Amino acid sequence: MNDVPKYPNHIKDEIKRRGYKLNEVAKALYISERTLWNYCAGRRAVPRDILAALAKLLECPISALGDEMPLSDRATQQSAPSPVSPVPPQSPPDLSIPLAVEHVVLHYASGQRSIFVAPEHHTSMHPLAIEAYEDVLTLAWEAFYTSCAQRSASAVHHWLLYLTHMIPVASGPLQDHLMALCCRFLQLSSVLARDRSEFRKALDDINEAIMLAVALQNTELMASSLYRRAKVYAKQQQYSQAAQDLENALPFASRSRDPLRCYISMFLAEVYSLLDAANTKLFEKSLTLLDDVDRAVRAWGVLEGDGSFVKVDVSGLYMIRGDVLRRAGQLKEAQQALLIVQQSLPKEFIRWRGNLYHSEAQLALADKDIESGCQLALQALDFVDATHSRSNTVEIERLYWEIRQMEPSHPRLKELGSRLGIA
């Protein structure tokens, strides 16, 4: 058995040096002792908000705990880039201006989202309650990639209501922790809305997440929130807005953990190819970004996510690489990239298997192979139906209309149209 820690750190040493016991620190951080032990042993990545609270408790810099990428400093973030304004109804805060936490508390205290009656003031929460939030997030994200995430939408909604109810009546580290959790739940809620093609709600939720990230001045939450909003813009084919959000996210992501940085780089590479596939400079930028991710994956192996995004591995990287190469007209190289995906993609990743068939269908059509394009589109639809993803169904519908323009009388086209409910 390999006992080498995945996330080496000096947390246990620093706790001991300061004269604390593990159970005392766990209680102060509102986490279970088991969770803290996993952090100390390097078995689990430490969330950025927990790391900041721990450093404050131990009165030491974050670097003393073994983290090489410090959290943002409110005093040094004045020149942070400002994200592009989204479509109405809500304008996000300028990321270069730290938003007072008090403003966020007043936003939630107004009761616009919460349906609960406010209890007395809270300064603590049972560690198992915090762990329950983390477990719900993890399970919901796993469902998103492996089955039907919409089944968890109601639970996510109710947990969000409770979180936004608790923020105004909490204080100290607990309030910051609840705001960070709320930000992550809002990101998930936005993704679920995007998957249903409810883009207005998706933008409302992700703009609220950005507000929380700015209030906390949490670089990782800023980067991940901008990344999620870029996804919403891209689904609406607003590629310029998506590219600007991703470019704004990169400086924050450079101070975050590798999985998030890699995911933003991969998606920016894809968006550049969608902006203008014939633009040589953009194509070179895309390949440079993907090569950087490739080096990280090969150096460290699979980069595990933390419940907010799936792991970064060879299959995910080469699926995007294949799409970028196809759009640039390099069909042979694109086929080789997708072959790597076929050989490495885990079977339980239902959503990604649908994405793979969709990419292969697009490649077949680029090669004028209508028969294969239709067959692969039908196979992609099997997986899309299994995840109940409306936004991915729309992608298959676009394939249908593309094939119809190429060869309207093809017999397979009628079968695809019937499956899609298109006359």
Quick one: 91 and 64 in the same domain? no
Same domain, yes or no, for 64 and 202? Answer: no
Q: Which domain holds residue 54?
A: 11-68
Distance CA 250, CA 273 (A): 18
Domain end: 223, 252, 281, which one? Answer: 252
CATH number of the domain at 159, please. Answer: 1.25.40.10
357 domain residue, yes or no: no
DSSP annotation of 58 reads H
Rounded CA gap, 407 and 405, in Å? 6
- Asked whether residue 303 is domain-assigned, the answer is no
Q: Which two tokens stand for residue 54?
A: 């721990």
What gap in Å lies between CA 103 and CA 144, rounded to an integer?
A: 32
Residue 377 is assigned to a structural domain of this protein:
no
Using CA atoms, how far residue 22 sits from 19, 32, 39, 49, 50, in Å, is: 10, 10, 11, 18, 14
Q: What is the DSSP string of 352-364?
A: HHHHHHHHHHHHH
Instruction: Give the residue carrying structure tokens 């192996």.
Output: 301
97 and 198 together in one domain: yes
153, 246: one domain: yes
Residue 122's φ and ψ, nearest 5 degrees, are -115, 135
Q: Across the strands, what pairs with 312? A: 303
Q: Is 87 found in the same domain as 35?
A: no
Q: Supply the pTM of this predicted model.
A: 0.71
| Alpha carbons 177 and 186: distance in angstroms, whole number | 14
What is the chain's alpha carbon radius of gyration, rounded to the nearest angstrom? 22
The verdict on 89 and 238 lying in the same domain is yes
**Predicted local confidence at residue 98, as pLDDT:** 44
Is the Cβ–Cβ distance between 179 and 101 less than 8 Å? Answer: yes
User: CB neighbours (10 Å) of residue 16?
Assistant: 12
| Residue 394 pLDDT | 92
CB atoms within 10 A of CB 253: 27
Phi, psi of 303 (to 5 degrees): -95, 110
- Examine the domain organization and report whether 178 and 130 are in the same domain: yes
What is the pLDDT, as a whole number, of residue 171?
Answer: 78
Distance of alpha carbon 358 from alpha carbon 394, whole angstroms:
12
Check if the beta carbon of residue 132 is closer than 8 Å to that of residue 178. Answer: no
pLDDT for res 347? 80
- Contact present, 389 and 351 (Cβ < 8 Å): yes
Residue 171 lies in a domain: yes
- DSSP category for residue 112: S
Query: Can you name the residues that pair with 170 across neighbouring β-strands?
Result: 122
Three-state DSSP class for residue 254 = coil
Per-residue pLDDT of the chain (423 residues; tens, 9 = 90+): 445 566 678 888 888 888 888 888 887 776 777 788 888 888 777 877 778 778 888 888 787 787 443 333 333 333 334 444 444 434 444 444 444 454 555 555 555 554 333 444 454 555 556 666 677 777 666 666 666 666 677 778 878 888 887 888 887 788 888 888 889 889 989 998 998 899 999 999 999 999 999 988 888 899 999 999 999 999 999 999 999 999 999 998 888 777 888 899 999 999 999 999 899 999 999 999 999 999 888 776 654 444 445 466 788 899 999 999 999 999 999 999 999 999 888 887 888 899 999 999 999 999 999 999 999 999 999 999 888 888 899 999 999 999 999 999 999 999 999 999 986
**Would you say 149 and 192 are in contact if contact means Cβ atoms under 8 Å apart?**
yes
Residue 222 to residue 213: CA distance in whole angstroms = 5
Compute the distance between CA of residue 306 and CA of residue 222 in angstroms, rounded to an integer. Answer: 16
3 state SS of 270:
helix
Point out which residues pair with 122 in neighbouring strands: 170
